[in-house]
Amino acid sequence: MGDVNLPKLKRILTDPDEFISNSQLKSLSMELLELIPMEGIEGSGLDSDQIMEVVLRAAVDQTSVNGVTTSTEDTPNRETVMDWLHTLEKETMLDAVNDILALVAMTVLDRDGSRTICIDFMNNPFHGCPDDEDEFRRMSARDGTTKCHRYCTAFVLAQGKPLTLAVEPVDGKDSKADTVERVLARVETYPFEIDQIFMDRDAFCGELIGVLREPVFPVRTGKETLEEKLTTGSSYMTEEIICEGKEHEQTYPLAVNVTYQNGDRGKSGLKQTGYAAYGLEDRTPRQVAQVYNHRAQIEKSYETFRKARALTTTPSTTIRLFYVGVGFLLEQLWVVLQWAVLARPRRGGRALPTDFTFNNAFLHGVEEVLDDELGWKDEHQTNGQGLPAGHEHGLG
């Protein structure tokens, strides 16, 4: 983002006070959001900061813009806020979100060495009628719908910290491979080398494997030769072919890891899991499984991000993408503050605080400050009459 910086965050990270206040959490959150360009409505008498405060309040409470504006005295009305949000330029906004994610991530990431990158796809359920049928994707039924907007994200695991490196929407008629290429193009601007790439089982396809350049992932069963190799009582290393006879045919190293389920979810006996083990051919299947299992932190990261995503009924893919970006930015800020400012240095690393949770401490702290600043209503007018005559008998 050129010369753009984060002076408030820099001061907190390099010279923290004894305590960090809720007011500072709100100020730091706004410092990130204020870097996202929004053209706005000329002559409206408002500025983008006022709009961003409404969006921030909606995000930290997982509510809508309407839910905020109808409950506050000192905010613009819903129509005005949405008119402003409709002036967001998709590509400019997306570039800004990714640049800010990178800026915050690099405050705690070492520039030297190499990193293991995790690629994943996330679905946000969509209810309603989109402007264009190509805007949404299909998923397994969830929240009463099979429609969703899909996003591809890249994470890095550093000292136990899941940091978001990039986010891209799966647009129009894009394939997963198209979107992954855009995500990797953003990741490659970081100053470190990519050591390995992890992805999930759902992305198992030859085209995507080619784009990712030898990833590590658990394979899908169903192919006869693969089923045969997974029908075993002991772990071993072998090879398998994907997309045999097709354009994206590849032979990959297969690690077959056999474990005992030991009553997990009521199951017993042997469990066989196959992993595409590019770059891990010298490891045992158990070691391959252990390496991949670090990726479980991604799912925790996703759960965290969803706690800071504002709700909306708008069909605008730009506004929906913006809300996703805001959620990731707030999560990123929390992760960095937690590790850099609140974690206690100890031998071999830092001990993360147990009380500075994303939901109850960070988001709720920002919410309290905004409630005061935006004039959250603390009383509501009654009708002055109560129950109609004859209805009070149930009260005894």
Question: What does the alpha-carbon distance between residue 294 and residue 160 come to, in Å, rounded to a whole number?
Answer: 9
pLDDT of residue 92: 97
pLDDT of residue 88: 98
Q: Is the pLDDT of residue 138 over 80?
A: no
Average pLDDT, the chain: 87
Q: What are the tens digits of pLDDT across the range 357-373? A: 999 999 999 999 999 99
Q: What are the tens digits of pLDDT across the range 157-169? A: 776 678 999 999 9
- Residue pair 241/223 in contact (Cβ under 8 Å)? The answer is no
- Residue pair 339/86 in contact (Cβ under 8 Å)? The answer is no
Quickly tell me which residue has 């410092």 as its tokens: 31
Contacts with 17 (C-beta within 8 Å, 6 or more apart), sequence order:
none
- Indicate the DSSP class of residue 391: -
pLDDT of residue 214: 72
| Out of 42-46, 109-113, 278-282, 383-387, least confident range | 109-113
Q: Is the pLDDT of residue 239 over 70?
A: yes
Question: What does the alpha-carbon distance between residue 38 and residue 92 come to, in Å, rounded to a whole number?
Answer: 9
| 3-class state of residue 24 by DSSP | helix
Q: What are the tens digits of pLDDT across the range 292-326? A: 887 766 666 667 888 999 999 888 989 999 999 99
Structure tokens that stand for 185 in this block: 């193009």
